A and B are shown apart, each in its own frame.
Chain A
């Protein structure tokens, strides 16, 4: 019997996952018997399972959803079908029993999730060996953990933390079971705009892993009032202390007051502030502490390997096509977040010139990253001032996508003033970003399920502003596992998905699915 998991791709002999303390070795007695028959059976079982997973996740769903009845008639259904692990048949739930009785094939794969059904248990079985394959296939689209991504140009180079889950376990096993990162942060006097952003950082899995794996140990940092050290402290007390009381972010606050960023001078005041500005401030400050030290220039193609860049930064590509000579120039910029204007779309909705129904996030994205706009442009080729078509798309998606819905608009006109746009924007729990990428522009990608999966994002945090433009309150919703929580300063409460989705979001944070 094998004792350690091997990369299942190259060697011919597949191995069962090594026993872990605290987990049974097999999903059930019957699988144990299957795996213990001989190596050939183990090999074919795992091979079949992998090919079935490929059918389920990489091919058109029509394939796995079409069952062949006992009478030979093909039935396509929306509901789950069962793919026999021991022969190439796909069966409906009813026929599954008959097939089992006739052929004594006992294991089937459920077509919607790839889960294994054992007929003798009459239950879904979660076998460590099969589960590992399934989770990996669902997440990254490949079976092997070490294999390089196919679409590297769309993603940041894989960060080492992601590949090394032992970092997390190393740091969490020592801490109490009670320390789960769910604590409020006291409002130090109109600092709710900071609290919501801090909560979004604290529940960002990449940043969490970074800080908990000593990415920036505050003990060995000499910078006085370093904000990254303050972040390290806050992560430590959230994920290692047993306290359930609110946290007093005094270090963040003093670091923030002491920070000499001239660009953010207007932030340093005791008044209420914009959470988005604070997000940018904190991200850039942490980049400076952890990265190459260069100030990220707005709009430049600045790349850096710091944790903030690996987490939040993506790249935008702007293509300008000259109407005269059809010459194309493109420019690449890195971005920390996507800012989506709402005003035009909201007004169009009101007038009825846009698609009916509530405004959706996808419509806002479409407006910015699919549609073209016109601009005046001096063409380098023909040297004339021309009308040009300009199109922006996302060249590289970040691991955590932050989206700002521009609810606060500065209205120009006779009485210039800022106003808040209260239009609700519907946003999904799962967001497919593929249509807005440069890649989707050039190729037909609708059949590429693997690529689509790698562009699928799950909602991670939502920042909501309640109240008027000049005064109000921020709360944030964050997801931990599958449970949502609402963070209102020092108070943490459970939240329903419907609460989250019905909120008038101001900032949205989406995490790429393949990470989770």
Chain B
């Protein structure tokens, strides 16, 4: 193309050179415009091909079906009949088109199951309600909706305090509207929870997110981690079966805040207790208690109990505060002599500082080892903090659970 008669623009007509440009500039514009045209042309051709072939095949499938039905009951795949639809002709076992399938055929049948294809997604971007009276091919258009996958599924967020999940937050988390508190029953069907799988060695059922760790402990007896893994296995052993409870071992030991604990819904506490009745509590608790007792722990209950240093110091006592904090008034019979002063400076609104000496006799007598939670149950009723604090604390409880593991590590130096 000679440059002197360079056109204003190319075939697409979108990129137009200003009229005062030099011929070279105009040629450059025209070339760019032509390239744009080619891109669109190629894209269109691709879509056209897919769509036209799909419709042509649909026309063929329809007329073949019709032919099959017309010879009623015959199993012959090529019935010797002549059938005609508005889109195709069936004759001598061959299908020929009538007219342009893009015009004559409106729907698309799946070439495999011969059911109509759903043409729009059922949810998210570009969604349309499918006709409830039609059975569609099972292959649906993919759903594009934030927080959901291509099938419109979403996942139950990993529960609070589920061990390792913390460090690497699950990508769905922020988007997922469903919390772990929703039980399986009242979840919508497109909300899935993490499955469990069977370990090929010990045949136990392990939650999938723990599978790798479990196999490392169960199968992998590799070198230096072996002893640690074995130790872990022993200590976790009895727990493995009940992986689904919301409280991992770490947070079972870690103690949430006094105020929150007291305020948390009682039912929940009871649940936790049931789970916690297990092994390590019994063995570890008594020792810790004894050590902790002599410490002067100052509980500064601020407005934000979960994050304050005060809360950490409380937790540092590990299990013990559970008992005292859960019920502010409660006391332990076996401790009074040593636990000289646990001073708490509470937020004025909450009432929970209780020197340990105010003993709750009933719980104390139960057991000297006194699994904390059991004690809590009885006396909890009288000592509930004011409702406002309770509400605030209830909100916090999840957070605390998340943090409980890290706070557990903090506890060691204090001992």
* B35 interface hit (Cβ, 8 Å): yes
Q: Which residue of A lies closest to B225 (CB)?
A: A269
Q: How far is the CA of A190 from the CA of B198 in the complex (A)?
A: 18
Check if B123 is an interface residue, CB within 8 A of chain A. Answer: no
Chain B residues lying within 8 Å of A126, measured Cβ to Cβ, are: 49, 52-53, 56
Contact partner, B212, options A23, A188, A491, Cβ 8 Å: A188
B49 surroundings in chain A (CB, below 8 A): 115, 124, 126
Per-residue interface assignment for chain B, residues 86 to 118, with 1 indicating a CB less than 8 Å from any chain A CB and 0 otherwise = 001000011111111110000000111101000
CB contacts under 8 Å to A, within B157-206, are 164, 167-168, 171-172, 192, 194-195, 197-201
Chain A residue with the shortest CB-CB distance to B154: A491
B48, B115, B151 — most chain A CB neighbours (10 Å): B151
Is B219 engaged at the interface, CB distance under 8 Å to the other chain? yes
Task: Categorize the interface residue count of chain B.
Answer: 35 or more
Report yes or no: A32 in contact with B96, Cβ–Cβ below 8 A.
yes
Specify which chain A residues have a CB less than 8 angstroms from the CB of B59 in the assembled complex: 24
CB pair B200 A254 closer than 8 Å:
yes
B97 and A28 contacting across the interface, CB-CB below 8 Å: yes
A73 shortest CB reach to chain B, Å = 11
* Complex contacts, A24 vs chain B, CB 8 Å: 56-57, 59-60, 88, 95-97, 101
List B contacts of A172 (CB < 8 A).
Answer: 112
- Check B172 against A491 for contact (C-beta < 8 Å): yes
A184 to B324, CA, bound (A): 46
Structural contact, B155 and A490, CB atoms closer than 8 A: yes
| A41 at the B interface (CB under 8 A) | no
Q: A177-B110, A186-B194 are in contact. Are A22 and B57 (CB under 8 A)?
A: yes
CB contacts between A and B, total, < 8 Å: 189
How far in angstroms is the closest Cβ of chain B from A32?
Answer: 5
A491, B61: Cβ atoms closer than 8 Å: no
Chain A interface residue count, Cβ-Cβ cutoff 8 angstroms: 67
Pairwise interchain contact A177-B56, C-beta atoms closer than 8 A = no
Q: Decide yes or no: A254 and B219 within 8 Å by CB, A491-B171, A493-B149 being known contacts.
A: yes
Does A28 contact B100, Cβ atoms closer than 8 Å? yes
Alpha-carbon separation in the docked complex, A492 to B142 (Å): 10
Question: Which residues 324-376 of B have a CB within 8 angstroms of A?
Answer: none
Question: Cβ of B56 and Cβ of A189 under 8 Å apart?
Answer: no
In the assembled complex, A113 has its CB within 8 A of some CB on chain B: yes
Q: Which residue of A lies closest to B201 (CB)?
A: A254
A79-B11, A186-B194, A254-B201 as given contacts; A177 in contact with B112, CB under 8 Å: yes
Residue from A21, A124, A178, A494 in contact with B48 in the complex, judged by beta carbons closer than 8 Å? A124
Q: Are B138 and A186 in contact (CB under 8 A)?
A: no
**Interface contact B111-A22, CB-CB below 8 Å:** yes
Give 7 new A-B contacts, CB below 8 A, not counting A190-B212, A253-B212, A494-B142.
A75-B1, A112-B41, A124-B49, A176-B138, A188-B209, A250-B211, A270-B220
Give the shortest distance, in Å, between A113 (CB) and chain B (any CB): 6
**Is A123's beta carbon under 8 Å from chain B?**
yes
The answer to whether the Cβ of B34 comes within 8 Å of any Cβ in the partner chain is yes
Q: How far is the CA of A496 from the CA of B233 in the complex (A)?
A: 45
CA distance A178 to B201 in the complex (A): 33
Interface mask (A174-203 → B, CB under 8 Å = 1, otherwise 0) = 001110101010111111000000000000
Residues of A within 8 A of B273 (CB): none
Stretch at the interface among A311-319, A392-400, A455-463, A481-489: A481-489
Chain A residues within an 8 Å CB radius of B110: 177
Encoded as 1 (CB less than 8 Å from any B CB) or 0, chain A from 114 to 147 comes to 0100000101101000000000000000000000
